[in-house]
Homo-oligomer: A and B are copies of this chain.
Amino acid sequence: MPASPSKTKSAAKAGPSARSAKSAEKPTGRETAATEAIIALDLPAAPLDAEIEAFFQKCRDKIGFVPNVLLAYTHDLAKLKAFSAMYNDLMLAPSGLSKLEREMIAVVVSAVNRCFYCLTAHGAAVRQLSGDPELGEMMVMNYRAARLDARQRAMLDFAVKLTETPWTIDDPDRDALRKVGFSERDIWDISATAAFYNMSNRVASATDMRPNAAYHATAR
């Protein structure tokens, strides 16, 4: 299940409706609609089946809402299930990388690709999983400012290089990960996670996907 901003009751309360009220007062040029569409494509949702209903209910129980990325895929349940299966395996299954580390990769890749949806949702996840709001901000703004230990720095350097110039990745890059202690499987997981957000960022950017408002206030 996607990045879970649990324990964000006040944020959830201050969600959609609160934002509409606030919008009314502000003097900026930003246009906001009462009921903003989640993506810029007009794709009506398919009827949800029992499996998806249960999955969405689990989201609501645990984090208070269904992440918009899942709603964005409801126009085709086969695509929603394929996306969720891959997401859940990568981000939640056992791995030599902690869940926080996988979220750090998600944010750093999304920062290179300047993906508003993913930076919002996964930035919240980093703040929450680390209990260190500033760490989340650093991952969004410039991970090099975070003074990470050599292991995590190498992990993020690899993810960024794989994002920016994948054709230049070579044996020395993999060896740099081994040198700081990552296993063969860890290297796969770093790679697959960075690669996944290179996909997910582009689906979000191509469709102008909008994050749930609750993420903004999560774990500040």
User: At the interface, is chain A mostly helix, strand, loop or mixed?
Assistant: helix
Can you list 22 residue pairs at the A/B interface with Cβ under 8 Å? A28-B132, A28-B135, A29-B152, A30-B147, A32-B147, A40-B174, A41-B174, A41-B185, A75-B188, A83-B86, A114-B142, A116-B138, A162-B202, A162-B206, A166-B206, A169-B205, A170-B208, A187-B206, A187-B207, A195-B199, A195-B201, A196-B199
CB <8 Å contact, B133 and A202: no
Known: A134-B216, A137-B216, A217-B133. A28 touches B148 (CB 8 A): yes
CB <8 Å contact, A191 and B206: yes
A23 part of interface (Cβ distance < 8 Å): yes
Q: Which residues of chain A have a CB within 8 Å of any CB of chain B? A: 19, 22-23, 25-32, 40-43, 75, 78-79, 81-83, 85-86, 89, 93, 98, 100, 111, 113-116, 119-120, 130-135, 137-138, 140-142, 144-149, 151-153, 158, 162-163, 166-171, 174, 184-185, 187-188, 190-192, 194-196, 198-203, 205-208, 213, 216-217, 220
